[in-house]
Structure 1
Amino acid sequence: MRDYKSPGQYILDQYAPRIDDLSFPLWMNLGLWQEAETYADACRALADLVAQRVGLGPEDELLDAGCGFGHPARHWLETYRPKRIVGLNIDPEQVRIANARAAALGVADRMQFLLASATRMPFPDQSFDKVIALESAFYFDTREDFLREAFRVLRPGGRIVLADMLPTATWKTTERNKSVRWYSMKPEENVYPLAEYLERIRAAGFVDVRGESIRQHVFPGISQVVDAIRLENRYAGDLVVKVSPEERARCAGADLWENDLGLGDFAIFEGTR
C-alpha cells in the first residue's frame, strides 16, 4: 500500500484556511529561477515560458493536462486571454477547488476543470488548439498514452508543450529511485532521457519536435526553497532566493531529485500536430 502525500495534499494540509482566499496563489511547480527570487515569481515564470512556447493567444482553446488547483490556468486566462481553457485532473478535491475558484472569479464560462484522465480524454477528435502539460506528464500512466490522446484532440497545426522532469543521459537508476518513484506515483515506463523523450513525441505523430534542458534554471532555486521548508517549516511564498552564477553553473540542488527520484533533468518539449 502506498503512503504518499502529493504536493497538492501538502498544500491542503498546510494552508487549508487560505484555500478560499482568491489572492492566495496555489502554484505547484518547481519554478523557473532564471530571474525570479520568490517562489510565486518562479512558478509564474515557468507558466509564462510554456505559454509563450505553445504560442497561447486570444483565439485558442487550451487543454491544461494535469491542472492542479487551476492556478496556472487562471494566470494564462488573465495574461494571454485564450478563448477557453479546460483542465483535466484525477484528484477530485483539486478539481473541486479549481472550479470553485473559477466560479468565484466569474470566469467559469471560460475556464472549467474536469475529473478525468489525461490518458483517456473525454473529448472528440480535434477539440483544442493547444495542449500544455506543466509538470504533470511524469505522473501519466503512461506518458505515451497521453501523447497519443493529445495528438488526437489537437486540431491540425495545433501545438503541444510539456515541462517535465526526466533522468539525465548518464544516470543509472537505483533501487532507491524505483522505490521513491513507486511511492510518488511516477510510472517506470516514463523514465527515459531527453533524446528518447523526443523520439516518443515524434512517434505519437508530432512534427517540428524540440526539447531543451533548463535544469540549471530550475533545481538551484527550488532546492533552496525545499531546504528552508524542511528546516524552518516556512511557507514557500515568504522566501527570497538568490541563485549565484556558480550554483547555476553546477546545477546546485539537482542531486536532491537525482538521488531520490533519479530525475535530475528538467526540460521543455514542444511539437506540432
Structure 2
Amino acid sequence: MATFKQALIEKVIVIGHKYAIDAKRLGDDALLAWSNLGFWQGQHDNYPQACRSLADQIARSIQLKSTDRVLDLGCGQGASLLHWLTHYQIQQLSAVELQADCVKRIQKQLPQVQIHCESFLNLKALQFLNSFDVVLCIDAAYHSHLNSFLDSASTVLNSKGRIAFHTLMWSENWQNCTYLQKQKYHYLLKSADVNWQHLMDQQQLVQILAQHDFTDIEIQDFSEPVLNGFAEYIETRKIEKTAFDLAQLKINMTAKLCRKLYQDGLVRYIQISAVKK
C-alpha cells in the first residue's frame, strides 16, 4: 500500500511540475523523449526530427567535438544526452535537470552520464570532477535572468570554453509599445514562466555577456523556424480530444503563445553562442 501511495504521489508531482510536458502528445513516445519547441525546416518535419535539429543548431554554433567535456543544462527527459552520445560520440558528458523523475530515468538508461537533480542556477554547489569545455542549454535559459544564468555557468566553464543557449530578446519595436501593451506582455510571458522584466534587447545582451568575460558572441534569430514552426505544427496536427485534457491544453496554449510572439514581432527567439576569455 505504501509503495502504491508513493507512486501515486510521484505521478501527481510529475503532472504538476511546471516544466513537465507530455511528449507523446507532441509526437515522441521514446523512453528518453525530446521536450523542446523544435527547429522546423519543412512541412514534413516530425517532432523528434525538429527537436534534434534545434540541438544540432547549438552543436554547430560551438563546433561540438567528441573530445569536449560537455555539460547539458536542463536536459529534460534525456533525448539530447542520447543524441550527444550517439551522434557526436561525446566521451565525457554531464547534465543538470530539475525534474526528479527525469533524472531517475536517465540514470537508469544512461549510466555513463553524470547527472544531478538541481537547478542550473546553482552549479557552484555541485561537485563536478572537472570543469567543462562546453556548456549548453537547449530551450530553457529564458526561464531565468541572464545574469544569474551566466554567473552560474561561468563557474564551471574552462578558459576558452564555449557556451550556447536559447533565450528571448526584445525587438527594436518594443520601445514603441504603450504601457497597456507592455502590461499585456507581462501576463503573456508569465504564463510561460518568463519574467518580462528579465528580457533585454540585443545591445543589452551583448553587454551582459561581455561583462561575464565572453567574446566571439554570435546571436542568431530563430523566431521563424522555432516559434512559427512549433505553432504551425500544433495547429495542423490532428489530436484525439477527451472531455478534459490538461496535457493537451498546456501544449495548445504554448502553441498559441508562440503564434502571438511571432506575429507581433516584439519578442525574438534567439540562439546565443560565445567563448569565455
Fold shared per TM-score above 0.5: yes
**In structure 1, what is the equivalent of residue 92 of structure 2?**
84
Residues 213 and 265 of structure 1 are in contact (CA less than 8 Å); yes or no, is this contact kept in structure 2? yes
Structure 1 length-normalised TM? 0.76
Within the candidate set 128, 132, 139, 1:135 is matched to: 139
CA gap of 1:101–1:124, structure 2 versus 1, over 3 A, is: closer
Residues 70 and 87 of structure 1 are in contact (CA less than 8 Å); yes or no, is this contact kept in structure 2? no
CA gap of 1:190–1:37, structure 2 versus 1, over 3 A, is: same
Amino acid of the structure 1 residue aligned with 2:172: A
Shift of 1:74: 1.1
Q: Which ranges in structure 1 are unaligned for 5 or more consecutive residues?
A: 103-107, 235-252
CA distance, structure 2, for counterparts of residue 263 and residue 89 of structure 1 = 30
CA distance, structure 2, for counterparts of residue 93 and residue 176 of structure 1 = 34
**In structure 2, what is the equivalent of residue 168 of structure 1?**
171
**In structure 2, what is the equivalent of residue 243 of structure 1?**
none
Shift of 1:189: 4.2
Shift of 1:170: 1.3
Amino acid of the structure 1 residue aligned with 2:168: M
CA distance, structure 1, for counterparts of residue 129 and residue 208 of structure 2 = 21
- Does 2:70 align with 1:62? yes
Amino acid of the structure 1 residue aligned with 2:198: N
- Does 2:270 align with 1:267? yes
CA distance, structure 1, for counterparts of residue 184 and residue 17 of structure 2 = 19
Q: Which has the larger radius of gyration?
A: 2
For residues 118-157 of structure 1, the aligned pairs below 5 Å read 118-121=120-123, 122-123=126-127, 127-140=131-144, 142-157=145-160
Residues 120 and 149 of structure 2 are in contact (CA less than 8 Å); yes or no, is this contact kept in structure 1? yes
- Does 2:33 align with 1:26? yes
Q: Deviations over 1:24-68 (max 9, x none)?
A: 561111111235622221111111110121221121111111111
Within the candidate set 202, 212, 218, 1:204 is matched to: 212
CA distance, structure 1, for counterparts of residue 238 and residue 201 of structure 2 = 29
Q: Deviations over 1:172-217 (max 9, x none)?
A: 4532322233343223442122332222112111111121212222
Deviates more, 1:85-94 or 1:118-127: 118-127
CA gap of 1:74–1:124, structure 2 versus 1, over 3 A, is: closer
**In structure 1, what is the equivalent of residue 115 of structure 2?**
113
